[in-house]
Amino acid sequence: MSDVKKSVLDTIKKEDVKPKPKWWFALMHALVWALAGVSVLIGSVAMAVVLHEVFGTDWVVAQRLGRDGIPGFLLVLPYLWFVALGVTLLAAYFLYKNTEKGYKKGPVMIVVGTMVISLVFGSVLYERQVPERVKDVMVENLPPFAELEMRRQEVFMAPERGVLVGIITDIQGEHLIVVNDVREREWSVDIAAARYGDDLIEMEKEVVCLGEKKGDAGFVAAEVRPLRERALKRLIDFRKKVERKVGPGA
Amino acid sequence: MFKDHLQKKDAELVAEALKDAEAFGPIVERYEEKLLRYVRRFTGLSKQCCEDVVQEVFLKIYRNLNGFNPEMQFSSWAYRIAHNEAINYLRKNKQNVAPLETDDEEMGDLLDVLHADVDIVKDASKGELRKAVQEVLYEMPVKYREVLVLRYLEDLDYTSMGDVLKKSVGTIGTLLNRAKERFKRTAQKKNYSFFHFE
């Protein structure tokens, strides 16, 4: 009998070494799969929020909001969700690689596969308006997130940079409308030289006025654009929730 | 009895060892030499250290017998555990891997393979060449050395190498190409006059 064989069999006997039970391995495999599944699920939620932010942003308006040499679109990108998406996809990738046969697939295939799954599930969640509910829950429970969201949204509330978002509360003749902004502040908007679509200048319509601020509460619009359906109402509700958590914004 | 074990497949031996620890002996017999040779080639450790590593490898194999997936070759699974254990040993002991003063005949196999990519001067003695190959091999990063050893010294195919290193076949191919390139560059740096590179 060789030294190694003798020593191995002696150790097994002396130390009463036993093979780990089958269920232990089954449990470990199940755990890895479950964690990979959870990562993909969280990644899908993050993907849904990214879609919500990307499709819910008026990029033409965002372009006008640049400051200090930073292009406007960079100020409103949902970075937090990009990071969340990246982290969860990375976790899903490593967990999948650690499944029993996961290593047989190449890294590119795993990454692309994970992204496609997240995109498919994310689109379904986006369609079912899960992102709004997720953000509501996070605002309720995570004050730093609420603060971050508030800051992102404030980028859009910038009459001094030529963007006024609000709801039409009065129409005073053909050239003047009154718009209440997100902070429920009243603005007189001159639309004499503004471009706007048919049926836009009506009471209770939510609009974005692009133009120039005049005085404390005046605005001369060059263009009036419609806001997504009830977007302002949702924004106001959202702000109220955030303010309850982190106090009034700027 | 002995002949009986020789004829049995690995999966049968595993099933028997799960019922009776003594039946693990034939598995050790079957793989002891292979794993010792692999660990020695991969790590360059002394005979005693390699035996310690391999002993631990067999204990790990025994503890994890229920985790062996019969869809995979038992040898690949055993190599995988040996590979991981060898890496752990090197990390724990932070030992510099020094080329062994042995005339490993199989180093010639690596030379035969390298002939395809590298011109080797005919008047160099086999002993000199083997020593040079060993020196170059042990100077290379582990990730390259491991693929060269598995492919050219242990003679594993890409699929088995993938099972041992837990990498896809495509990744193994890429690693092997890089490892060969690295081997050539390392040999060039060391100015081995009997290797000619284009």
Cross-strand pairs, A226: A207
Interface test with B, best of A1, A3, A5 (most B CBs within 10 A): A5
Helices A79-97, A22-56: axis angle to 10 degrees equals 160
Structure tokens at B52: 């310690």
Dist. CA A103–CA B105, nearest whole Å: 33
Q: Does B78 touch chain A (CB under 8 A)?
A: no
Provide, as residue numbers in chain A, all residues whose Cβ is less than 8 Å from the Cβ of B29: 2, 5
Query: Between A3, A19, A21, which is nearest B62 by CB?
Result: A19
Amino acid sitting at position A26: A
Q: What is the share, in percent, of chain B residues with pLDDT greater than 90? A: 49
How does residue A24 score in pLDDT terms, banded at 50, 70 and 90?
very high
Q: pLDDT tens digits for B136-158?
A: 888 889 999 999 999 988 989 99
B24:A100 CB<8 A: no
What's the alpha-carbon Rg for chain B, to the nearest Å? 18
Chain A residue numbers touching B55 (CB-CB < 8 A): 4, 7-8, 11
> Which H/E stretch holds residue B195?
strand B195-196
Q: Say yes or no for a CB contact (<8 Å) between B21 and A13.
A: yes
What distance in Å separates the CA atoms of residue A21 and residue A18, rounded to the nearest whole number? 9
Q: Provide Rg for chain A, Cα atoms.
A: 27
Helix (H) or strand (E) holding A69: none
ipTM for this model:
0.80
DSSP B123-165: TS-HHHHHHHHHHHHHHS-HHHHHHHIIIIIS---HHHHHHHH
The residues near B34 (Cβ < 8 Å, ≥ 6 apart) are B75, B78, B154
Q: Model's pTM, two decimal places? A: 0.75
Contact B68, B77 (CB under 8 A): yes
Residue type at position A194 = A
Asked if B21 and A7 come within 8 Å (Cβ–Cβ), the reply is no
Task: Count A/B contacts: CB-CB distance under 8 Å.
Answer: 71
3-state DSSP assignment of residue A164: strand
Q: Which of A4, A9, A29, A104 should be substituted to probe chain B, the one whose Cβ sees the most B Cβ atoms within 10 Å?
A: A4
What are the C-alpha distances in Å from B127 to residues B45, B73, B107, B134? 20, 35, 10, 11
Those of residues 39-68 in B touching chain A at CB distance below 8 A are: 51, 54-55, 58-59, 62-67
Q: Give the gap in angstroms from C-alpha A37 to the nearest C-alpha of chain B.
A: 21
Contact B51, B36 (CB under 8 A): yes
DSSP-derived letter for residue A106 is -
Beta carbons of A45 and A118 less than 8 angstroms apart: no
Confidence of residue A250 (pLDDT cuts 50, 70, 90): very low
Note the pLDDT tens digit of each residue in A175-232. Answer: 999 999 877 889 999 999 999 888 889 998 889 899 999 998 999 999 999 877 666 7
Average model confidence (pLDDT) for chain A?
Answer: 87
Question: Cα–Cα distance between B23 and B117 in angstroms, integer?
Answer: 46
Q: Residue window 4-33, chain B: list those with CB within 8 Å of chain A.
A: 18, 21-22, 24-25, 28-29, 32
User: How many residues does the structure list for chain A?
Assistant: 250
Q: Which chain A residues touch B51 with a CB distance below 8 Å?
A: 3-4
Express each pLDDT in A92-116 by its tens digit: 999 999 998 999 988 888 999 999 9
Question: Residue A68: what pLDDT?
Answer: 73
Give the Cα separation of A129 and A170 in Å (integer): 32
Q: Which is more confidently placed, B10 or A249? A: B10
Check whether B80 has a pLDDT greater than 90: yes
Taking CA atoms, A42 is separated from A134, A200, B175, in Å, by 11, 39, 33
Cβ–Cβ below 8 Å for A4 and B51: yes
Q: Write the single-letter amino acid at A138.
A: M
